[in-house]
Amino acid sequence: MSRMPSSEPPRVGQTLASLRQARGLSLDELSRQAGVSKSMLSQIERNQANPTVAVVWRLANALGVPMAELLSGEEPGAPAMVTVPPHAIPSLRSPDGLCELRILGPIELAGQFEWYELTVQPGGVLTSEPHEPGTREHLTVHAGALVVDAGEQTQTLGPGDTARYAVDQAHAIRNTGSEAARALLVVVHAG
């Protein structure tokens, strides 16, 4: 049984977006690597434009996939390994600029299991409202010292110390020392 050819060109938008995000590339970065304008990439990803063969070839080469994978119009499977360069890791800063959370976990796990590299400058405080019931944080200090306030409890942590605490209550992580502190913060949501 032969399949009738489709009268529509393949829609590569979702495939392109998935491949780009899996590689931790922004539209700007893929635009530079493939030699395709950022506006064209955006239109392709939103299925507002269909790329020429030359554009598909450039994109496939930049992403390191065969052209057929990009043209399949299917959601690509997870690659065996994804490497995210340091400049592609998103980060958040506290309003005072003294706390930085580098988001190490993939976006698809947000709200379930998240991990961050936390840097707190002297005098910095990362305050948080209560999370959903049953959620816990695990904080491991790598350098410096941090004070954790969770509800009525307070604990000071030095290098190598780990605190595990409920965060379905107001909580804060403070640096009362004179040097920057660096830690791994893992949030496990109730589930």
- Provide the CA 189 distance to its chain's centre, in angstroms: 17
pLDDT at 2: 47
pLDDT at 191: 66
Residues of the chain with CATH 1.10.260.40: 13-71
> Which one is the CATH code of 89-188: 2.60.120.10, 3.90.330.10, 3.90.1150.10, 2.60.120.860?
2.60.120.10
Contact criterion met (CB below 8 Å) for 168 and 123: no
Orientation of helix 13-22 relative to helix 53-63, angle to 10°: 20
pLDDT at 10: 65
In this predicted model, what pLDDT tens digit does every residue of 19-33 receive, in sequence order? 888 888 888 889 998
CA atoms 78, 84, 90, 91: torsion sign: positive
pLDDT at 69: 80
Mean pLDDT of the chain: 86
pLDDT at 182: 98
d(CA 131, CA 172): 12
pLDDT at 7: 57
Residues of the chain with CATH 2.60.120.10: 89-188
pLDDT at 5: 52
In this predicted model, what pLDDT tens digit does every residue of 88-101 receive, in sequence order? 888 899 988 999 99
The pTM of this model reads 0.61
In this predicted model, what pLDDT tens digit does every residue of 124-160 receive, in sequence order? 999 998 989 999 999 999 999 999 999 999 999 999 9
Mean pLDDT of 44-66: 85
pLDDT at 90: 87
**Fold classified for 13-71:** 434 Repressor (Amino-terminal Domain) (1.10.260)
pLDDT at 8: 61
**Beta carbons within 10 angstroms of residue 85's beta carbon:** 10
Query: Phi/psi of residue 135, each to 5°?
Result: -75, 140
